[in-house]
Amino acid sequence: VTTGADRDRIIGAGCGTRVHAIEYAWLDAMRTTTLYAYRLPADRFRPFGEPDPHAWVATDPVEPLGPPEPVGDLIACHAEAGIQLRILDNLWPFWDQVTAGTVGFSGIRLRNAQPRPVKCGLPHPG
């Protein structure tokens, strides 16, 4: 359960319920990539994950409802959905704060992040 203090510290007081973070190095790709979405029949999917479901999966093949459709401007999509978009020099200090707290989180493609910052000649712990 997310505490109010963690919500305010990580997401920001009165700033919605979600935040996505990317590094500056990925901003151009986010601006210029064309992302396509397949629409799938929702009734074929079930929650997955214990104790708290974190994904929806289908155990049998599912046919799309139609051809893939372009999602559009990804930054505008964030704004329309009320999702904060944070653009950071290095993701790791923020990620360490997120994972040390009580907010729910998902880390996608962390292997593409910049290396952890070096502090006093030593790699950042974690």
Would you call the peptide bond into 51 cis, given omega within 30 degrees of 0 as the criterion?
yes
100 and 120 in a single domain? The answer is yes
In this structure, the dihedral spanned by the alpha carbons of residues 14, 19, 23 and 28, taken in order and rounded to 10 degrees, is -100
Q: How do residues 17-72 score in pLDDT, each as one tens digit?
A: 899 999 999 999 999 999 999 999 999 999 998 888 888 999 999 999 999 999 99
Mean per-residue pLDDT of the chain? 91
Domain count, the chain: 2
**pLDDT value, residue 66:** 97
Are 30 and 56 in a shared domain? no
pTM, full prediction: 0.80
The answer to whether 10 and 19 are in contact (CB under 8 A) is yes
The pLDDT value given to residue 121: 58
Q: How confident is the model at residue 123 (pLDDT cuts 50, 70, 90)?
A: low
Q: Are 22 and 87 in contact (CB under 8 A)?
A: yes
Domain that holds residue 25: 1-35+72-126
